[in-house]
Chain A
Amino acid sequence: MNKSDTVIRHIAFFFSLALYLTLLPIILSYSLGYHIDFNKLIIYKTGILSIKSTPSGASIYINGKLYQDITPARIEELRPGTYSIEVKREGLFPWQKDLAVRSNMVTRAENILLFPTLQVTDKVSDRETDNFFIPDDRSQIYYMTKSGLYKSNIDGSNLKKLSSYSKWPSDIIGKKLSPDGKKILYFNEYCVWIIYLDVPKPVKGGEIAEVEEALRGPDIIKDAFWHSGSNHIILVAGRDIDVLEIGKGGGKNTVTLNKCSGQPQGAYYDVYNDSLYYNDSPSGKSKLYRLDLREKFFGKLMERIKKEFDIIYDQK
């Protein structure tokens, strides 16, 4: 080994050592949130402010003063205190909040959503539309118009007339697609209608959908749900929880499954487990109940319903 090699090695070693001893306190103090003021020769504790916005690239104002970086930004070496933070970007509504910065801690404002000031509205369809329905899978749009029922793709393309039916009520409360995707129910406080989307033989000059009034009851309808089999509707009407058997033509069969002590204020139907959740107050205090309509629990109930239906048929 040459002497020069030894010298090189020693220089490299001591330089590395010096570098380590110099950088370590700087990196550590930075990571721990300490700041050294070289002018005043003091060390003080600081906090970090992390700002992220959607869209990014917005200007940041701290106590009214423009900060050098744009979002996303990590603002370091802030002395503890409350700062007025404003995030602005041209064409977007500004965001403002007073944020508290604590020593050695990070204050995060990372979910800032900046909305555009100019809202862009696209016309999906030129057709005059009284009401419409978009199922949860967002595959179609159903248009309830004065000239009939139409459907199109979600972007408005491929518009197709399904039915000439045009007597759409103005006070529809809810619209729901059946689990099999072949029916839509819609209802107001007094009536339930069903749109059959799979008419086997086109009727009335090629129409492929048919609208039918399924129920008109005395009680005010609170909510209506599809049973998982798509052939029954669970109704919360007045104090009753009813099940309505549907089918085109003929009469509709209804059975009251439960009579509540008052009208349920809330109702939710879990279609995956066929369970209706509702609140009731039979003993004065309102509590949450579940009506299990699954097949295994439903079996006996269905037998009873069938018997009642048979009696109704017999009577008819």
Chain B
Amino acid sequence: MTRNEKLRRFFEIVPGFMTWSTILGLIVFSIFKPLWVAVFIICFDLYWVIRVGYFTTLLVFAYRRLNAQKKTDWLKKCRSLEGPEVLNYNSIYHAILFPAYKEGPEILAASINALIDSNYDKKKMIVALTIEARAGDVYWDNAKELQKRFKDKFFEFIITRHPDGLDGEAKTKGANATWGAMVIREFVDSRKIDHEHVVMSCFDADTCAEREYFACLTYHYITNPKRTRSSYQPIPVYNNNIWYARSIARVIELGSSFMQMIETMRLEKFVTFSSHSMSFKTLVDVGYWPVDMISDDSVIYWKCFLYFDGDYSVMPMYVTVSLDVATEKAIIPTIIKQYKQKRRWAWGVENFPYLMMGFINNKKIPLFKKIRRGFHLFESHYTWAVWAIIVTFIAPLPLIFGGGIFRQTTMGYSLPSVAAALFRITTITLFICMFMSIKLLPPRPKDVKRQKKLVMFTQWLLAPFLAAFVGSAPAIDAQTRLMLGKYMHFHVTEKIRHGVTSN
């Protein structure tokens, strides 16, 4: 093992080690020093409740901004722009890449139709489907059918087949996306289009972009003086099949959407997630997505961040892209599917050793920035892994292990009532989430009963239970695997869209 490999391994161990140390440490201290743990729990509970309040405030502001910007005619704004730092919007091309594996043609067709429904000029759009060769001929034939069907609608409709098992590649979406991006580059170069004038959107196969998406993206791109030093992040909503999904899955996915809205307000911590866009020039300059990492959506941001010596940011766009809720027809399979999806997201903890190694090798990024960003990344994964465990399972331990003597102390007596009183405050957040989830809903399909809207409201009562059982577990799982060197493989989430499946 070289020094770098040892260091990388060390950083792989750190998150899991810290998480397990916290959990086991609190359990052990609950037995021997229940008072200390009780004090810690009150400190943590208060921190958590105030954090929830802080996030709720940001969520309300993000929601207001999303609502306000819904009314914006972005295309009109693009046309009216002038200035030396502004690119002409007519010169901008959009490359939309769909890395696909075994997604059915209906899923991809819906995503492509969303592009056609866009108010942006389709003759400025280069659509590329990159299909995994290992998926088999059926999916390649589907891609050919889609090409035949949609070829005339866009400037170009490219299909390509990503060979399996290329040197240095793992079975990841990033490898497929990189292959697709290289094919797009060949096309762009053949047409002698300036890379800076191409905006790359890497979409999951089920991503349906909002009508204004590309106009909004163009506006942000052409007006941004540091356009190649930014990624452009829309707000993902899981509306494609939300009316048909299980309540459990809806609550979890809506929670993800809300979290993403909150992140748009925390710019200095903002990292790309799921479907997003960036300058094609930047993508080519940094050498595309890593081909051996699972969390391609976030790692591309860190790759750019390191490449540009920390001078790279994410610009939030208050437009939505709609994706599928990972659901099943029965409850248990839905929970399992959600768990696997969240574990894949939590595998983003692999970015921590990647970033730390990048920081060690990059002397140009200021130390303060390294500490700040490194801490943010670590803290987000660490908190994700421990918070629900502390709040739900560790909190009663001092009372259980402390015995009669501890229960006779004022702390032992007060702990349950203080914790309950603190968490009662968070019901305000629950009501706000209820309200927003209704507002973000797409129109009710005709085959869905009217009463379902009531379920959409009451489903939020599941939130505390879901937080307890699926809140931290996927993150602990992912961190433990990384700690033990049992690396995860890309697990494609099969999604169900009212009879149509998508991986």
A181-198 CB mask vs B (1 if < 8 Å, else 0) is 000000000000000000
| A5 proximity list for chain B (CB < 8 A) | 61, 65, 265
Cross-chain contact A24 with B408 (CB below 8 angstroms): no
Cross-chain contact A16 with B51 (CB below 8 angstroms): yes
| A48 proximity list for chain B (CB < 8 A) | 410, 413-414
Which residues of B, 353-387, contact A by the 8 Å Cβ criterion? Answer: none
- State the majority secondary structure of interface residues on B: helix
| A104 proximity list for chain B (CB < 8 A) | 409-411
Is the CB of A20 closer than 8 A to any CB of chain B?
yes
What's the least CB distance linking B83 to chain A, in Å?
19
Number of residues on chain A facing chain B (CB within 8 A): 26
A1, B262: Cα distance in complex, Å: 12
Cross-chain contact B57 with A12 (CB below 8 angstroms): yes
Is the CB of A238 closer than 8 A to any CB of chain B?
no
Select the stretch in B41-49, B250-258, B333-341 that faces chain A.
B41-49
A47, B408: Cα distance in complex, Å: 10
| B412 proximity list for chain A (CB < 8 A) | 106
- Chain B, interface size category, equals 20 to 34
Cross-chain contact A32 with B411 (CB below 8 angstroms): yes
Cross-chain contact B61 with A8 (CB below 8 angstroms): yes
Cross-chain contact A27 with B42 (CB below 8 angstroms): yes
A225, B359: Cα distance in complex, Å: 87
Picked from A1, A9, A27, A50, the residue with its CB within 8 Å of the CB of B46 is A27
What's the least CB distance linking B121 to chain A, in Å?
28
Cross-chain contact A28 with B409 (CB below 8 angstroms): no
| B39 proximity list for chain A (CB < 8 A) | 28, 31-32
| B51 proximity list for chain A (CB < 8 A) | 16
Cross-chain contact B410 with A28 (CB below 8 angstroms): no
A5, B50: Cα distance in complex, Å: 19
What's the least CB distance linking B216 to chain A, in Å?
14
A47, B51: Cα distance in complex, Å: 31
Is the CB of A120 closer than 8 A to any CB of chain B?
no
Cross-chain contact B409 with A106 (CB below 8 angstroms): yes
What's the least CB distance linking B409 to chain A, in Å?
6
Contacts known (A20-B50, A105-B408, A106-B412); A27 close to B418, Cβ less than 8 A: yes
Minimal Cβ-Cβ distance residue in B for A26: B46
Cross-chain contact B413 with A16 (CB below 8 angstroms): no
What's the least CB distance linking A106 to chain B, in Å?
4
Cross-chain contact B415 with A31 (CB below 8 angstroms): yes
| B54 proximity list for chain A (CB < 8 A) | 12-13, 16
Is the CB of B104 closer than 8 A to any CB of chain A?
no
Picked from A8, A31, A108, the residue with its CB within 8 Å of the CB of B42 is A31
| A47 proximity list for chain B (CB < 8 A) | 410
Contacts known (A12-B54, A104-B409); A31 close to B414, Cβ less than 8 A: yes
Between-chain CB contacts (< 8 Å), 14 pairs: A5-B61, A5-B265, A8-B265, A9-B61, A12-B58, A13-B54, A16-B53, A16-B54, A27-B42, A27-B46, A27-B418, A31-B411, A106-B409, A106-B413
Ordered nearest first, which 10 A-B pairs have the shortest CB separation? A33-B410, A16-B54, A31-B414, A106-B413, A12-B57, A16-B50, A20-B50, A1-B267, A104-B410, A31-B411
